[in-house]
């Protein structure tokens, strides 16, 4: 049997074990946030003009575990409830890039510097995009565009009313049922892609094709724009690419553009907020990915990330493996529950 056939499942399990403890805790934290900072609460706090709502919109968006498609109906709703275009744009930019679950998952694979850097850039880019929208044009009346802008794979919690009676139950249901339904399959695919890259692509391969630097960052940034990949599922892919010769900054460009841009998101922003705001949104994401990548390459080296991966974690091995089993069970349950729910809705 070829060695790579053995390496793929071993690498898959290794990544799952590293992410397991942090993702399980991230799911719990996301569940708490889903109740404490609900979309309805966000709507109430982002109305009005001025700079305050833009700052709050960008800051609120950083920890919220909303993907690039589920943030659309929330953003359209806060727009309809009086939020300015600047505040809505800030929320649209900062929210899909990161979340409490993806911050912890980033820490598990790429280290604390990377985990802190991502939300800081998400916050700054949200502030920048919102400020540019506010300064460069008059705020038109709120759009009457429908808020139901999600596609089938969208996060379902934005489409459903909160039906669970207790706060604790709502936290647990969101964290360990709804969120795994939303990201479970893409997360497993992302881990599998990372295992394939590790097993099949020689170390340093991408560095030979496109040397680390501005061009490599540009290539990864452009690669991330048309595809849909959530903030958490993109992390193992980025880690695998770094092992294969991609710089931390180029991987960051993918991590920023992949979750924040895709064809459905751009088309909906164009419809709800207009052409000018959509172009500013895209320009902000691209500038943040490119210049954020350049700066990160001055802070981190691939060798630093490799060191983090080799010496990852202070947790005992048995905790990691037990968490991997639990995480796999949670994701499998979420995927199966989501499919049953989807098939029931079709019938």
Please report the pLDDT score of residue 116 as a whole number. 95
Q: Is the torsion defined by CA of 45, 51, 52, 57 positive or negative?
A: positive
137-160 pLDDT tens trace:
766 655 444 444 444 444 444 444
Handedness of CA 67, 73, 78, 83 (dihedral sign): positive
Give the span between the Cα atoms of 135 and 221, in whole angstroms.
27
Q: Where are the alpha helices (DSSP H) in 37-99?
A: 39-45, 52-61, 71-80, 85-97
Chain segment 236-259, per-residue pLDDT in tens: 999 999 988 899 999 999 999 988
Partnered with residue 83 across adjacent β-strands are: 48
pLDDT computed for residue 131 by the predictor: 94
pLDDT tens figures, 272-281: 788 899 999 9
Check pLDDT > 80 for residue 312: no
Residue 25's Cβ-count burial label (10 Å; 0-12, 13-18, 19+) is middle
What is this structure's pTM?
0.82
Taking the C-alpha atoms of residue 246 and residue 200, their distance in angstroms, rounded to an integer, is 15
């Amino acid at each position: 049997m070829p060695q790579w056939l053995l390496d793929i499942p071993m690498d898959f399990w290794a990544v799952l074990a590293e992410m397991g403890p942090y993702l399980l805790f991230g799911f719990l934290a996301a569940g708490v946030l889903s109740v404490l900072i609900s979309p309805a609460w966000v709507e109430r706090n982002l109305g009005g003009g001025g700079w305050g709502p833009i700052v709050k919109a960008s800051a609120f968006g950083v920890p919220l575990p909303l993907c690039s498609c589920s943030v659309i109906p929330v953003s359209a709703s806060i727009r309809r409830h009086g939020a300015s275009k600047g505040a809505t744009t800030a929320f649209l930019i900062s929210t899909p890039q990161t979340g409490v679950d993806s911050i912890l998952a980033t820490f598990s694979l790429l280290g604390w510097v990377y985990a802190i850097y991502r939300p800081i850039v998400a916050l700054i880019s949200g502030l920048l995009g919102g400020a540019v929208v506010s300064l460069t044009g008059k705020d038109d009346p709120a759009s009457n565009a429908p808020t139901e802008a999600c596609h089938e794979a969208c996060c379902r919690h934005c489409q459903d009313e909160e039906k669970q009676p207790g706060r604790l139950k709502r936290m647990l249901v969101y964290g360990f049922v709804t969120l795994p339904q939303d990201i479970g399959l893409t997360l497993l695919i992302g881990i599998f892609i990372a295992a394939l890259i590790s097993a099949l692509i020689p170390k340093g391969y991408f560095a030979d094709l496109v040397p680390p630097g501005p061009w490599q960052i540009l290539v990864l940034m452009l690669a991330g724009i048309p595809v849909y990949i959530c903030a958490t599922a993109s992390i193992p892919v980025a880690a695998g690419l770094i092992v294969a010769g991609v710089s931390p900054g180029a991987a960051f460009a993918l991590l920023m553009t992949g979750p924040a841009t895709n064809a459905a998101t751009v088309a909906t922003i164009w419809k709800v907020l207009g052409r000018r705001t959509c172009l500013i949104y895209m320009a902000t994401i691209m500038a943040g990915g490119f210049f954020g990548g350049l700066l990160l390459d001055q802070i981190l080296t691939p060798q630093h990330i490799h060191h983090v991966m080799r010496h990852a974690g202070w947790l005992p091995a048995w905790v990691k493996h037990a968490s991997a089993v639990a995480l796999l069970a949670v994701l499998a349950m979420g995927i199966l529950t989501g499919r049953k729910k989807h098939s029931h809705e079709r019938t």
